[in-house]
Amino acid sequence: MKITNKYNLPDTILNVLDRPTYSKGKAHISATELLNSPRIVQLKRKYWEFIETDASEMVWALFGSAVHNILEHGKGENHIVEQRLGTDIDGWRLSGAIDLQEEDEDGIGIKDYKVTGAWSVMNEKQDWHNQLNVYAYLVEKEAKKKVKSLQIVAIVRDWTARDTVKDGYPQSPIATIDIPLWPMEEREQYIRERVHLHSAAYFEMETNSELPQCSEEDMWEKPTSYAVIKVGGVRAKSVHKTLEEAQHALNQLKGYNLEVRQGDRTRCAKYCQVSEFCTQYKEYLSTKEQA
C-alpha cells in the first residue's frame, strides 16, 4: 500500500504506519478478515500495492495500536496478553491475536480493546459479537481452556461529560460491554460458513471469475427514502421506503410535498480502500447517475 502525506505529517508517524505490527503469518485468513466482506478481502489482496491512503486517514488506527501497546504494560499475574492462536478448519488456517485473557479458576474472560466513537458503543456492533466468539472458539479448541465471558473494552475517543444525560451514552470515556458467548457449535458453524465464503471468493479471484457481491450491510447502505413534508415545513410527516407508499400517503393530504432522500453506500463512498477497483461500486454509481 502507498501511504501519501498530504498534510506533511512528521516522519515518525509515516515510519510507524509503514511498519505494521500485526501479521497473520502463514494463515489463510485472520479473525478480523474472516468477519469482513470476502469481496473486500480479495480486492485488497489483488490490488494491495496500488491502494493509496493518506497518513491522515490512518490516525485512529495508529491511536488504536498505541492504546494496545500501552495497555500491554498493565498485564497482571493472571493475564495472557496478545496471544496468537491458530486453527485449521476445512483446509484453511485461521489465526487471531487476542488482546487480553483473564485466567480465573472458573475459566477465561476474553477482553478486546476498541478505540471507537460513542455512537458505536450506543449501537453495539454485530461484528464485535462475531469477533469475540471467534476468539472464544480459538481458546477452547486450541488452548483447551474454558471460556466464561466476553467483553469489549471501548475507549471512547469522542466522549464528552455533557452528553452523559443521553439515553445509553457511556458514563465514562472507557466503557466495558458484555458480549454474549455463543454455544461452541454455533461458533464453529459461524466460522465454517465464513471460511467457505472466503475460500470461494479466493478461488474466484484466482480464476478471474466474478467475485461475490458485497451485501447492503457490508456497504453500510442507506436506502433511498421518500418523505412527505408540509409545504414550507422542515420535518417530515411520514417517511416511506417506496415511492408508491409515499404517493399514496401524499394523496390523502393537502398542502404537502414529496421529498426524495437519496440513499448512499457510505462505506463504498468514504471508507472502502478498494472502491476504485470495485466493479460493483462503479456499476452502482453509473446507475445512480442515469436515474
Name the site residues for ligand SF4 (rule: CB under 6 A): 37, 39-40, 43, 214, 218-219, 265, 267-268, 272, 274-275, 278, 280-281
Nearer to ligand SF4, 89 or 278 (CB): 278
Nearer to ligand SF4, 187 or 198 (CB): 198
Residues 6+ apart with CB under 8 A from 60: 115, 157
> Minimal distance in Å, beta carbon 288 to ligand SF4?
13
Q: What is the DSSP letter of 231?
A: T
Nearer to ligand SF4, 1 or 13 (CB): 1
> Minimal distance in Å, beta carbon 287 to ligand SF4?
13
Q: What is the DSSP letter of 105?
A: T
Please state, in angstroms and rounded to a whole number, the distance separating the CA atoms of residues 72 and 99: 8
End-to-end CA distance of the chain: 35
Nearer to ligand SF4, 39 or 129 (CB): 39
> Minimal distance in Å, beta carbon 273 to ligand SF4?
8
Residue 72 near residue 97 (C-beta atoms within 8 A): no
> Minimal distance in Å, beta carbon 57 to ligand SF4?
15
Nearer to ligand SF4, 129 or 265 (CB): 265
Residue 144 has φ and ψ, to the nearest 5°, of 55, 40
Strands 92-104 and 2-4: unpaired
> Minimal distance in Å, beta carbon 276 to ligand SF4?
8
> Minimal distance in Å, beta carbon 54 to ligand SF4?
18
Strands 92-104 and 107-116: antiparallel
Torsional sign, CA 209, 212, 218, 222:
positive
Nearer to ligand SF4, 39 or 194 (CB): 39
Residues 6+ apart with CB under 8 A from 92: 28, 29, 195, 198, 199
Nearer to ligand SF4, 244 or 283 (CB): 283
Residues 6+ apart with CB under 8 A from 153: 100, 111, 112, 113, 114, 174, 175, 176, 177
> Minimal distance in Å, beta carbon 268 to ligand SF4?
3
Cell numbers found for residue 46:
489483488
